[in-house]
């Protein structure tokens, strides 16, 4: 469990999610446009709840070992 000082982190900024995933903020905004992530407002800041991000990660497609390969759309290519 990630903590900030003595408190559990409840949400992330878009920049933090980009850093965690090794992506860009533009890609995180595209994920929102595709309905993959939910953004919320907290004190005027755009945030992603930790629980929403955890659910997104938990629902990622499991890719089988070679020779089958997962493609970008989530289906398997032979």
Over residues 42-75, the pLDDT tens digits come to 999 999 999 999 999 999 988 877 766 676 554 4
pLDDT band at 10 (very low <50, low <70, confident <90, very high): very high
Question: Cα dist. 7→11, 41, 53, 78 in Å?
Answer: 12, 20, 18, 47
Whole-prediction pTM:
0.72
- The answer regarding whether domain 3-77 maps to CATH 2.60.40 reads no
Q: Where are the domains of the chain?
A: 3-77
Using an 8 Å Cβ cutoff, are 37 and 48 in contact?
Answer: yes
């Amino acid at each position: 469990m990630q903590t900030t000082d003595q408190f559990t982190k409840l949400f992330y900024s878009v920049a933090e999610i980009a850093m965690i995933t090794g992506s860009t903020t533009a890609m995180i905004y595209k994920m929102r446009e595709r309905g993959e992530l939910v953004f919320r407002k907290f004190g005027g800041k755009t945030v992603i709840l930790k629980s929403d991000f955890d659910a997104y990660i938990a629902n990622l497609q499991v890719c089988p070992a070679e020779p089958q390969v997962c493609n970008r759309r989530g289906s398997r290519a032979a």
